[in-house]
Structure 1
Amino acid sequence: MSEQEVIQSKHTQQYSAGGKTVDIDIYRTEDSGWILEIVDENNNSTLWEDYFEKEEEALAEALDALKEEGIDSFIGPAE
């Protein structure tokens, strides 16, 4: 079985607040919807279970979650 190519969204970006930064990672494979993942500086990851039809929807969801829940909700412990 061959590995599928990962397609990175042009909307992948960093988000900063309160002196902290996380990566908003939006990607898909050829046969999946858009996947949303937020990764902190300690490489802790928050991954959404549902796929998004459009990459813009994934970005809007990430930004809404970061603003509503706060960036600290997406930062885990350093190992």
Structure 2
Amino acid sequence: MAVKKVTVTLPEELVEPLGSAAREDGVPLSRLVASAAESELRRRVGRKVVADWQAEHGAFTLEGLATARAEMAAAEMH
């Protein structure tokens, strides 16, 4: 993957914990930040898929969510 150097500003209270996490994982801080950015982009795609589905089919119901959870749990057992 090609990379591009950019400058970002982070809240001061995040800098040390992020640096510590990167050192703990043995990766550069930039890789840790890139991973967080990728995760955010995946979450956004997921939210869009859910919003599109609900726009077409209606909002999820508690009953429907419970059924889906039960079906997923059963599928994981097999």
Instruction: Select the structure of larger CA radius of gyration.
Output: 2
> Which one has a larger percent helix, Structure 1 or Structure 2?
2
Do both proteins adopt the same fold according to a TM-score greater than 0.5, normalized to the shorter chain? no
TM-score (norm 1): 0.30
> Which one has a larger percent strand, Structure 1 or Structure 2?
1
TM-score (norm 2): 0.31
Structure of greater relative contact order (alpha carbons < 8 Å, 6+ residues apart): 1
